[in-house]
């Protein structure tokens, strides 16, 4: 079974530029998550999709971050404009249905450095 795919793996941009990350979840997984992990911290949920609907985006900085999951499969996360504090690893994860005891499987992450 293929895992969660993410691209790019690394990205360096200057502040005020825009950037987009892509995620392809495990086949058949209805629930997709985007996390931000700042160095030395645990992952923080930015947004959770159930199929192509948003379940939780309470911690998404909506003035600069946006995410979509068209057709309930792939997802993109965009930052526009980027700030220095956005430097982090962006992790995508997926689970079968989003139930409380389900395992979330993480992709390899995208490392973003904002200069």
As measured in angstroms, the least distance from the Cβ of 6 to other proteins is 9
Which lies closer to other proteins via its Cβ, residue 81 or residue 105?
105
As measured in angstroms, the least distance from the Cβ of 102 to other proteins is 9
Burial 71-86 (b: 16+ CB within 10 A, else e): eebebebebeebeeeb
User: Which chain residues interact with other proteins by CB under 8 A?
Assistant: 33, 40-45, 48, 50, 55-56, 91, 98-101, 103-109
Which lies closer to other proteins via its Cβ, residue 12 or residue 16?
12
As measured in angstroms, the least distance from the Cβ of 81 to other proteins is 26
């Amino acid at each position: 079974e293929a895992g969660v795919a993410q691209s790019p793996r690394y990205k360096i941009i200057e502040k005020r530029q825009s950037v987009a990350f892509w995620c392809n979840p495990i086949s058949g997984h209805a629930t997709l998550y985007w996390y931000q992990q700042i160095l030395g911290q645990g992952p923080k949920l930015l947004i959770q999709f159930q199929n192509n609907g948003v379940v939780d985006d309470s911690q998404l900085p909506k003035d600069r971050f946006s995410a979509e999951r068209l057709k309930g499969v792939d997802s993109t996360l965009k930052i526009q404009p980027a700030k220095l504090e956005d430097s982090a690893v962006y992790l995508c994860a997926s689970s079968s249905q989003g139930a409380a005891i389900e395992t979330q499987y993480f992709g390899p992450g995208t490392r973003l450095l904002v200069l």
